[in-house]
Structure 1
Amino acid sequence: IIAIANSLHYSVVAEGVETKAQLDCLEEHGCHIIQGFYYYKPMSADEIMILLDA
Structure 2
Amino acid sequence: LENPNNLEIIKAIIGLGQILDLRIVAEGVETQEQLESLQELGCDLAQGYHLGKPMSKKQSEALMTSFGADPKA
TM-score (structure 2 length as normaliser): 0.63
Query: In the TM superposition, what whole-angstrom CA distance separates every residue of 1:1-49 from its partner, at most 9, and x where no partner exists?
Result: 1223313323322110011100000000100121111211110111112
- Counterparts of 1:1-54 in structure 2 under 5 Å? 1=12, 2-54=14-66
Segments of 5+ residues of structure 2 without an aligned counterpart are 1-11, 67-73
Task: Tell me the residue number matched to 2:9.
Answer: none
Q: Which runs of 4+ in 1 moved over 3 A?
A: none
Percent of aligned positions that are identical: 41
Question: Based on CA coordinates, which of the two structures has the bigger radius of gyration?
Answer: 2
AA matched with 1:46: K
Q: CA RMSD in A?
A: 1.3
TM-score (structure 1 length as normaliser): 0.80
Segments of 5+ residues of structure 1 without an aligned counterpart are none
Task: Give the number of equivalent residue pairs.
Answer: 54
